[in-house]
Chain A
């Protein structure tokens, strides 16, 4: 079964600084990879997804993520963080399995943005 690790529970960056949120996965085949964002009091919203092809994927709100097979990673990046990016970010891996195993979430990284 697949698993997802987000090693950073909490990250604080200054507004305008660059951001990288780490995500490592474990899966025996090429996974489907997702990043979701959860703003305070809201449900989760899809930021971007990787299925195949170009390993650098662009998402909404200026985010991008790079799939690195050799490192089993799918890190999320943004060149310049805005105060409105403060939220919780979840990495997830989707699989060919059916049932609940079709999608596994990491434990999340809470981003705080300092003025």
Chain B
């Protein structure tokens, strides 16, 4: 597609439920990031995918968080047994290739509210 698409744009869930957030990157972009942005905060790195390499999961805050990327394209971020502190905007971004010289394109984000 023309841009990075994320869904849902808004998700309200009850504490303890599982949620899935989807990211559809720009076609041909091999690098994909997930970030979390809590209210009034900066960008917190969660996970990074690059091509067929093993993902860098070093930013995932707990084992309740997981992500996968199927076929090198669409990615899904899953949060199990959600907690109120998981409430945030989850941003996905993609880039052509691994180099930091290439521009990162962001999606509009998925706003998660855990009641």
Contact = CB atoms under 8 A, between A and B. Distances in A.
Q: Decide whether A and B are members of one complex.
A: yes
Interface of chain B, helix or strand or loop or mixed? loop
B61 to A, nearest CB: 15
Contact of B101 (A41, A51, A105, A108): A51
Interface residues of A, number: 29
A102 B109 contact: no
B22 to A, nearest CB: 15
Contacts of B109: 42-43
Contacts of B43: 90, 105, 108
A42 B108 contact: yes
B101 A99 contact: no
Interface residues of B, number: 27
Interface in A51-65: 51
Given A46-B104, A90-B42, A96-B99, 12 more contacts: A41-B108, A43-B108, A44-B104, A94-B99, A94-B100, A94-B102, A99-B50, A99-B98, A102-B31, A102-B100, A103-B104, A108-B43
Interface of B: 4, 31, 33, 40-43, 45, 48, 50, 56, 58-59, 91, 93, 98-109
